[in-house]
Amino acid sequence: MINPLASFGIEFRDPSLLDRALTHRSVGRHNYERLEFLGDALVNAGVALLLFRAHPRNSEGELTRLRASLICESGLADIGRELNLSDHLRLGSGELKSGGYRRDSILADAVEALIAAVYLDQGWEACQALIEALFAKRVGLAGMDARKDAKTELQEWLQARALPRPEYTLVHSVGKDHDKLFYVECRLPQLEIKAVATGRSRKSAEQDAAAAALKALQAPKDSNANEQSARV
């Protein structure tokens, strides 16, 4: 099995850990689910440490918000795509046919499982070094001023008015796996607002769509239109 972490200088002493980390439950009992459970905790701790050091002036609430934005499913899935995990995952025939190797949930789980495999194989120091390599750039881009992201702002605006959460839909994507462009729609049905945005990741496209929806909320309504639309 090809090691997707070889470029980070990681060679597994126990190759069975790598094999399990890349095996979905659809294959059988020996899958990554237990590793994913451990990896979730390790990623939380490792990213928390990175943020604590990188943002010494930020409050607990701001750090918590930043961590959530970094380790959400779509964020972890983006890392999985950067590691080309779609080419290495072992999936059952049903998952293969349904395109499971592209699914955010599976890619995110596999990233966490890989991190746990490194921890079990080589200890915390190597595990933290990998987390730093995977997340350092993202931590720097997470917003030094810790402002709320557009999705959070939009959701809080709606909650304050007892309105349903926004609906995010992947309209389509174009390009090869390593160079995709995602088209995402953010829809607020009760307010008759929808916004479509593009991004190099689904996460960034959702953020831009949420920002466009917020902008539409602030714009005067067109009395002649049944639905306001925004596109970025």
List 36, 78, 112, 121, catalytic entry: 112
Three-state SS string over 74-138 comes to HHHHHHHHHCCHHHCCECCHHHHHCCHHHCHHHHHHHHHHHHHHHHHHHCHHHHHHHHHHHHHHH
Whole-angstrom Cα Rg for the chain = 20
Give the count of alpha carbons within 13 A of 56, CB side only: 1
> Rounded to an integer, what distance in angstroms lies between the CA atom of residue 14 and that of residue 10?
12
Q: Comparing C-alpha atoms, which of 226, 203, 230, 204 is closest to residue 215?
A: 230
Note the residue count of the chain. Answer: 232
> Rounded to an integer, what distance in angstroms lies between the CA atom of residue 89 and that of residue 195?
34
- Answer yes or no: 40 catalytic: yes
Q: For the CA atoms of 168, 169, 173, 176, what is the dihedral angle to 10 degrees?
A: 70
Structure tokens at 2: 């090809």
List 36, 40, 78, 121, catalytic entry: 40
The DSSP code sequence of 167-205 is: EEEEEEEES-GGG-EEEEEEEEGGGTEEEEEEESSHHHH
- Answer yes or no: 14 catalytic: no
Enzyme catalytic residues: 40, 112
